[in-house]
């Protein structure tokens, strides 16, 4: 580190806004949808458009809506005219990465108050085929993300001896949690474990009810500095650490079950946040789980469980809303998946938990929470750890 380095400015989340996520928002344009989330975030922070210094926006591939570089078209709707506007794209991790890029603007003291927003309006196209890269770039009939991830889940099961039931336990939990979250897409009031287990097999071992939906939705956050946080009408969430890590899509040494980039990213965040024992020190986790089996897999990757032990935490109920380490109290990606926004929703829900504003899905006494996102072929990771108190260092 060079001598010229200055200490970073503290970053606080003072506003959060989401849309009610649904399969198709036919009542609004893309611009109308993102504006809805942004306005809710401004309202939460008791700020107006003129208080915003810069806008950082993210979404997953442009092909999902058939719109190239949508930040150009969305500048007006997001009050960005006359301001800096950045567009981040890091595949499925993009919502998290977008928030981190925005946080850097505050941490570096380039701007005081930044609006960050991520969205996807998947109803404008077909996400499954948007994710299926054309020949000759990939083998045909990969059929969306499930086709890519199923073999890695099978590898996890083989490696750890996890029983077949674990995936459905996660899905059943997340779908029940979603019932407590008014913004969640899937509200399956009649959900039972048996129904999850009886749902059709899509990509063995992934069943229909163990997959994420395709959602329309947006999530926005207002990030600000210490002075901005002091003016906030509601408790802020303080950023204690944030990091991104990437590794190649595929190479002989890659561990698709527990990628090194995920481990390194978590380790960096814990180091920044002074977390020595994540299992004990973190009160809630919003984890990117698009297919139910990724909960036990990421529990290990993120250091909450020893290798091969993640499924035991899940099976024992530790990750339930009233468990010792609630995972996805919001219902998670399994219940709501506007892809480009899903990572930011994880980050925002973690912040809601430590602000004590998560409503019915609030984890009692949550003081530190982790937001996690991943993307590509399990190759892009972004995470942040937020706390109810400002960082002490």
Instruction: Kindly state the helix (H) or strand (E) to which residue 246 belongs, with its residue range.
Output: strand 237-246
SS3 70: coil
As measured in angstroms, the least distance from the Cβ of 276 to other proteins is 21
As measured in angstroms, the least distance from the Cβ of 176 to other proteins is 33
Q: Which is nearer to other proteins, 247 or 300 (CB)?
A: 247
Q: Write out the two tokens for 7.
A: 């200490």
Q: Which is nearer to other proteins, 129 or 208 (CB)?
A: 129
CB 235 within 8 A of CB 353: no
As measured in angstroms, the least distance from the Cβ of 145 to other proteins is 11
Other CB atoms within a 10 A radius of the CB of residue 325 amount to: 19
As measured in angstroms, the least distance from the Cβ of 192 to other proteins is 36
As measured in angstroms, the least distance from the Cβ of 4 to other proteins is 4
Does residue 374 have a cis bond before it (omega within 30 degrees)? no
As measured in angstroms, the least distance from the Cβ of 108 to other proteins is 4
CB 329 within 8 A of CB 370: no
Burial of 320 (0-12, 13-18, 19+ CB in 10 A): middle
Q: Which is nearer to other proteins, 1 or 164 (CB)?
A: 1
Q: Which is nearer to other proteins, 265 or 284 (CB)?
A: 265
Question: Using CA atoms, how far apart are residues 246 and 166, in angstroms rounded to an integer?
Answer: 28
Q: Which is nearer to other proteins, 4 or 141 (CB)?
A: 4
Q: Which is nearer to other proteins, 90 or 328 (CB)?
A: 90
Q: Which is nearer to other proteins, 79 or 217 (CB)?
A: 79
How close are the terminal C-alpha atoms of the chain, in Å?
17
Long-range interactions of 196-202: CB distance < 8 A, separation 24+: 196/168, 196/171, 196/172, 197/165, 197/168, 202/146
As measured in angstroms, the least distance from the Cβ of 162 to other proteins is 26
Long-range interactions of 61-69: CB distance < 8 A, separation 24+: 61/89, 61/91, 61/130, 61/131, 63/125, 63/130, 64/120, 64/121, 64/122, 64/124, 64/125, 64/127, 64/130, 64/339, 64/340, 65/30, 65/120, 65/121, 65/124, 65/125, 66/124, 66/125, 67/30, 67/124
As measured in angstroms, the least distance from the Cβ of 159 to other proteins is 21
Q: Give residue for tokens 């007006």.
A: 76
Q: Which residues bind other proteins (CB under 8 A)?
A: 1-8, 29-30, 61-69, 71-76, 80-91, 97, 100-101, 104-105, 107-110, 130-131, 133-134, 137, 243-251, 253, 259-261, 264-265, 376-377, 379-380
Question: Using CA atoms, how far apart are residues 140 and 132, in angstroms rounded to an integer?
Answer: 8
Q: Which is nearer to other proteins, 170 or 239 (CB)?
A: 239
- Give the CA distances from residue 263 to residues 242, 304, 307, 333, 375, in Å, rounded to whole numbers and listed in that order: 13, 11, 12, 21, 14
As measured in angstroms, the least distance from the Cβ of 50 to other proteins is 15
Q: Which is nearer to other proteins, 102 or 162 (CB)?
A: 102
For helices 294-301 and 166-178, angle between their N-to-C axes, nearest 10 degrees: 100
Q: Which is nearer to other proteins, 311 or 381 (CB)?
A: 381
As measured in angstroms, the least distance from the Cβ of 304 to other proteins is 20
């Amino acid at each position: 580190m060079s001598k010229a380095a200055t200490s970073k400015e503290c970053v606080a989340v003072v506003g959060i806004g989401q849309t009610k996520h649904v399969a198709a928002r036919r009542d609004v344009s893309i611009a109308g949808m993102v504006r809805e989330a942004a306005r809710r975030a401004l309202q939460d922070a008791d700020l107006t458009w003129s208080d915003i210094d810069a806008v950082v926006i993210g979404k997953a591939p442009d092909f999902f809506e058939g719109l190239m570089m949508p930040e150009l078209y969305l500048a007006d709707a997001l009050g960005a005219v006359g301001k800096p506007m950045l567009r981040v794209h890091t595949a499925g991790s993009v919502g998290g990465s977008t928030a981190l890029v925005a946080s850097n603007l505050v941490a570096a003291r380039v701007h005081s108050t930044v609006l960050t927003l991520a969205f996807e309006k998947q109803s404008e196209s077909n996400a499954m085929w948007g994710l299926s890269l054309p020949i000759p770039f990939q083998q045909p009939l990969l059929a969306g993300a499930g086709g890519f991830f199923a073999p890695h889940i099978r590898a996890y099961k083989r490696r750890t001896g996890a029983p077949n039931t674990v995936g459905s336990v996660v899905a059943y939990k997340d779908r029940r949690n979603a019932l407590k979250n008014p913004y969640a897409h899937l509200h399956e009031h009649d959900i039972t474990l048996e129904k999850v287990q009886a749902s059709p097999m899509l990509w063995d071992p992934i069943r229909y009810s163990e997959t994420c939906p395709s959602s329309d939705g947006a999530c926005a956050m207002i990030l600000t500095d210490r002075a901005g946080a002091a003016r906030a009408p509601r408790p802020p969430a303080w950023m204690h650490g944030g990091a991104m890590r990437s590794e190649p899509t595929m190479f002989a040494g890659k561990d698709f079950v527990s990628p090194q980039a995920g481990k390194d990213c978590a380790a960096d965040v814990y180091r920044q946040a002074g977390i020595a024992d994540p299992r004990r020190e973190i009160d809630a986790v919003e984890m990117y789980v698009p297919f139910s089996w990724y909960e036990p897999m990421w529990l290990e990757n993120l250091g909450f469980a020893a290798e091969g032990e993640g499924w035991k935490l899940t099976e024992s109920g530790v990750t339930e809303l009233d468990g010792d380490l609630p995972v996805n109290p919001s219902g998670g990606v399994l219940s709501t998946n506007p892809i480009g926004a899903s990572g930011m929703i994880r980050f925002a829900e973690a912040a809601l938990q430590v602000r004590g504003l998560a409503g019915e899905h609030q984890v009692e006494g949550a003081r530190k929470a982790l937001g996690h996102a991943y993307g590509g072929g399990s190759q892009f990771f972004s995470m942040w750890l937020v706390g109810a108190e400002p960082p002490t260092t």
